[in-house]
Amino acid sequence: MAHMQRLNILPKGYIYPKEDRGVRDLLRRRLLSVRQRTAQLLSLQSMITRNLGIKMSGNAIKKLTAGDAHELFNSDDLAFMAINNIDTIAFLRKKIKGIEKYVKSQVKLRKEFKMLLTITGIGDILGLTIMMEVGDIHRFAKVGNYSSYCRCVKSERLSNGKKKGENNQKNGNKYLSWAYVEAADFAIRFSVEAQRFYHRKKAKTNRIVATKALSNKICRASYYIMRDRVPYDEEKLFRK
């Protein structure tokens, strides 16, 4: 290590500012609650499909009440299970909203991160999540370093154009990876250009790979937006 230090080739880690760790960790707890809510929603959705033979959308399930459970199921046991799911979803929704309200009262987007809100698919919470996970954008020398840190690219070892193995896929930041996939999902809903890119990729691969490819494009665009403090240019991003 001393020899590497003398040659200035010893890899250095980033020490996240202590004063910001609390809010960052709170946003991570929010993500945990979001995943738990999604698990409860999918569980109820699956139970409805299995027992009633109908597919109910996620938005429709979010609107269900305890009274609706008894109307849906003739069995008291199934109705009781459904009520538990509905109550848990409502509880987690309340906790998620409470965390969001508290975080917004404690921290605001810094100048270099405000332009993130110009990206289709990124709102206040995703913007704050990215800001709190990134810390200092200038610690990434190139856009490829940032994209790799966000787990938006393949973890492969190549030699002469041939795959020789894979690196540790858990390297990088899983929270940023989630944030950019979420941004991609929202972009597909609200951006025509993002939809076109997604469907072109999906036709050649599959839904998961296409979403990941779109998340990588948004990730790379956000790097320059944060570094140079410039607004999002959708035409430039999806230019053929």
What is the reported pLDDT for 16? 86
Asked whether residue 178 carries a pLDDT value surpassing 90, the answer given is yes
Contacts of 55 (CB under 8 A, 6+ apart): 45, 48, 49
What is the reported pLDDT for 156? 62
Residue 54 C-alpha from the chain's centroid? 29
Q: How far apart are CA 38 and CA 70, in angstroms?
A: 22
Average pLDDT of the residues in 123-132: 94
Average pLDDT of the residues in 177-186: 95
φ and ψ of 64, to 5 deg: -70, 150
Determine if residue 17 is left, alpha or beta; phi over 0 gives left, psi from -120 to 50 gives alpha, anything else beta: beta
Partners of 165 in the β-ladder: 157
Determine if residue 123 is left, alpha or beta; phi over 0 gives left, psi from -120 to 50 gives alpha, anything else beta: beta
pTM over 0.75: yes
Distance from the first to the final alpha carbon of the chain: 46
φ and ψ of 165, to 5 deg: 160, -175
